Amino acid sequence: MQTSDITVIGGGLAGTEAAWQAAERGIRVKLYEMRPQTMTPAHTGGALAELVCSNSLGSNLINRAPGLLKEELRRLGSLLITTADAHRVPAGSALAVDREGFAAAITQRIQAHPNITLIREEVTTLMQTSRRSVSETASGPVIIASGPLTSARLANAIHELTDSDAPLLDGAPSRNSGLYFYDAIAPIVELDSINFERAFRASRYDKGEEVAGDYINCPLNAEEYRSFTTELVHAEQIALREFEKEDAHFFEGCLPVEVLARRGENALAFGPLRPVGLRDPRTGQRPYAVVQLRQDNAAGTLYNLVGFQTNLRYGEQKRVFRLIPGLEQAEFVRYGSMHRNTYINAPYLLYPTLQLRSHPEIFFAGQIAGLEGYAGNIMGGWLAGVNAARWLQGQELLILPPETMSGALIHYITHADPETFQPMKANFGLFPSMEKHVRGKRARGEARAQQALAALENVKAEIKSEG
Ligand SMILES: Cc1cc2nc3c(=O)[nH]c(=O)nc-3n(C[C@H](O)[C@H](O)[C@H](O)COP(=O)(O)OP(=O)(O)OC[C@H]3O[C@@H](n4cnc5c(N)ncnc54)[C@H](O)[C@@H]3O)c2cc1C
């Protein structure tokens, strides 16, 4: 029956999981993948679910956020995580896979599924009628899972679709309505790891709209500033790929902190590290320079380094940024990075069911929805696939509980500040505070995991009772 079709765009991590979950619920799925005819700048072949870079899906320990996320997915019957388990290679406590074996197995399972039709074609339009318009052939929900390297024509179509959503939320600036091509991301650290013997809370006096104390400030004297900038300009960078160099050129206005530092000895002290309007309460003086950190999640447990978009190697970021007074022991939940990254402004555009607010029959999943990390993208695919099927079957759509890692991540991407939104990966900072304080990082992780897995049982019961 034509009316029970779901269309999935993109046969990557999110798209294959979404297609599988819907197909397993008896829905016929058309899965569009443009490779190998049309390649992205990072994929190497035509296999579905190709891992574009690392072959590691991160920690497998359930007292760590990435490990907990994978355990939740296992319990929810994720095709990709159970296949990753089957193709595991030795990597200590991490889940790393034989990438070719993994992608070949997923391709085989998808192609063999009686409810899935794999169409090797680039989707170029969404709403208008044209030869390869999805709307022309789609009669049911559409799941967009075309990833960070979405083809240019589809990106334009998504931009048109999401831009028309701008009036939905009052007062939000129009730059928040559409699709981002972000090439530079600043690191995020855990609040608990900041040393408040050195750092202090304050806002600049000249920013009237800010509430006092909104920022965490790390003050540097002249000597500390010199030694920090010297290390920064000499730190090792990640080599850019050709397509990324083009993008970096486009985003001249959003320079990496190390590039800005090379422009002059005091470029940072007059730029993002300017101390104007700030006094160090320990000395009563204006510091020579100040690194500011801005709250990054509603719970106030994560802070990003303002103006610190960077292309340094991860190890170098840890070494150099820990030279900043107050960040000596900083725990990084996300490192800064630079690569082409196409994603929508999810807090502005999506419901926690992953439906587009203005077109509830359209779902977004994976990196384009603002999720980061392989497992996070798989989870987005799982939820979009399940919810698109439930939509067709007339069932209430699932909102994952925020006590689960999956639910906390979806909650973040759909409730973060649209002004500063950037993709997010699984981390414990996204959870609501625990009612009872548990001492010790490991014990806290265990407690989080127990709470999450108990909450997941309710989701499983809900799926089962209606299934
Ligand atoms: C250079 C680079 C390196 C990365 N390294 C890592 C890493 O080491 N670890 C990590 O966790 N994450 C990494 N990421 C992020 C990574 O891309 C995601 O974690 C994950 O692959 C995203 O899953 P996805 O399903 O959203 O997108 P993808 O896995 O990229 O899948 C999207 C699919 O959609 C297809 N597609 C695009 N446009 C169209 C169209 N118009 N029509 C039909 N099909 C289309 C693409 O060919 C692709 O197969 C990296 C990203 C990039 C760009």
Q: Is the pLDDT of residue 251 over 90?
A: no
What is the pLDDT confidence band of residue 11, given thresholds at 50, 70 and 90?
very high
Q: Is the pLDDT of residue 449 over 90?
A: yes
Residues 412 and 333: their CA atoms lie apart, in Å, by 14
Contact 330, 304 (CB under 8 A): no
Q: Is the pLDDT of residue 8 over 60?
A: yes
pLDDT, mean of residues 312-322: 95
Q: Can you give the length of the chain in residues?
A: 467
Ligand 1 binding pocket includes 366 (Cβ within 6 Å) = yes
Residues 4 and 101: their CA atoms lie apart, in Å, by 32
Q: pLDDT value at position 168?
A: 36
Q: pLDDT value at position 127?
A: 62
| Better-predicted residue by pLDDT, 218 or 435 | 218
Ligand 1 binding pocket includes 150 (Cβ within 6 Å) = yes
Strands 188-190 and 302-305: antiparallel
Cis check: omega of the bond before 36, within 30 degrees of 0: yes
Name the residue with the closest Cα to ligand 1, atom 6. Answer: 53
| Torsion sign across C-alpha atoms 72, 78, 80, 85 | positive
Ligand 1 binding pocket includes 58 (Cβ within 6 Å) = no
* All residues at 6 or more sequence positions from 307 whose CB lies less than 8 Å from its CB, including other chains: 186, 257, 271, 272, 273, 292
Residue 14 Cα: closest atom of ligand 1 = 25
Ligand 1 binding pocket includes 379 (Cβ within 6 Å) = no
Q: How many CA atoms lie within 13 A of 290 on its CB side?
A: 23
Degrees (nearest 5) of the Cα angle 154, 106, 127?
Answer: 20
Ligand 1 binding pocket includes 11 (Cβ within 6 Å) = yes
What is the pLDDT confidence band of residue 178, given thresholds at 50, 70 and 90?
low
Mean pLDDT of the chain: 86
pTM above 0.85, yes or no: no
**What percent of the chain has a predicted confidence (pLDDT) above 90?**
63
Helix (H, G, I), strand (E, B) or coil at 237: strand
Ligand 1 binding pocket includes 55 (Cβ within 6 Å) = no
Query: What is the separation of C-alpha 11 from the centre of its chain, rounded to a whole number of angstroms?
Result: 18
* β partners of residue 322: none
Ligand 1 binding pocket includes 219 (Cβ within 6 Å) = no
Residue with tokens 């906390």: 408
Find the range with the poorest average confidence among 27-31, 131-135, 372-376, 395-399.
131-135
Q: Is the pLDDT of residue 239 over 80?
A: no
Residues 125-151: pLDDT tens digits? 986 433 445 555 556 899 999 999 899
Ligand 1 binding pocket includes 189 (Cβ within 6 Å) = no
What is 81-110 written as a DSSP string?
HHHHHHTEE--TTEEEE-HHHHHHHHHHHH
Distance (angstroms) between ligand 1 centre and the Cα of 369 equals 12
Q: pLDDT value at position 180?
A: 62
Q: pLDDT value at position 205?
A: 72
Distance (angstroms) between ligand 1 centre and the Cα of 262 equals 32
Q: List the strands of the sheet with 88-89, edge to edge.
A: 56-59, 94-97, 88-89
Residue 373 Cα: closest atom of ligand 1 = 11
336-347 burial string, b = 16+ CB within 10 Å, else e?
bbbbbbbbbbbb
Distance (angstroms) between ligand 1 centre and the Cα of 12 equals 6
Distance (angstroms) between ligand 1 centre and the Cα of 194 equals 33
Distance (angstroms) between ligand 1 centre and the Cα of 52 equals 7
Among the CATH numbers 2.60.40, 3.30.450, 2.40.30, 1.20.120, which is that of 188-334?
Answer: 2.40.30
Degrees (nearest 5) of the Cα angle 232, 233, 235?
Answer: 65
pLDDT, mean of residues 288-305: 87
pLDDT, mean of residues 445-462: 94
Distance (angstroms) between ligand 1 centre and the Cα of 341 equals 9
Q: pLDDT value at position 250?
A: 38
* β partners of residue 31: 8, 118
Residue 153 Cα: closest atom of ligand 1 = 41
Question: Distance between the two ends of the chain, CA-based, in angstroms?
Answer: 20
Among 113, 106, 147, 101, which Cα is nearest to 9's?
Answer: 147
Contact 448, 431 (CB under 8 A): yes
Contact 198, 218 (CB under 8 A): yes
Q: How far is CA 371 from CA 6, 56, 270, in A?
A: 22, 17, 34
Residue type, 321: F
Residue of 52, 241, 424 to mutate, ligand 1, most atoms within 8 A of C-beta: 52
Tokens of 97: 């896979």
Which residue spans within 146-226 are E strands per DSSP?
179-181, 188-190, 200-202, 215-220
Name the residue with the closest Cα to ligand 1, atom 11. Answer: 373
* β partners of residue 32: 9, 119
Find the range with the poorest average confidence among 161-170, 212-221, 333-342.
161-170
Residue of 377, 379, 382 to mutate, ligand 1, most atoms within 8 A of C-beta: 377
Residue 48 Cα: closest atom of ligand 1 = 49
Domain spans of the chain? 2-182+341-466, 188-334
Residues 4 and 244: their CA atoms lie apart, in Å, by 40
Contact 212, 203 (CB under 8 A): yes
- In CATH terms, the superfamily for domain 2-182+341-466 is FAD/NAD(P)-binding domain (3.50.50.60)
pLDDT, mean of residues 156-178: 56
Q: pLDDT value at position 247?
A: 44
Find the range with the poorest average confidence among 29-43, 61-75, 334-348.
334-348
Residue type, 237: Q
Contact 272, 336 (CB under 8 A): no
Q: pLDDT value at position 334?
A: 85
* β partners of residue 363: 143, 355
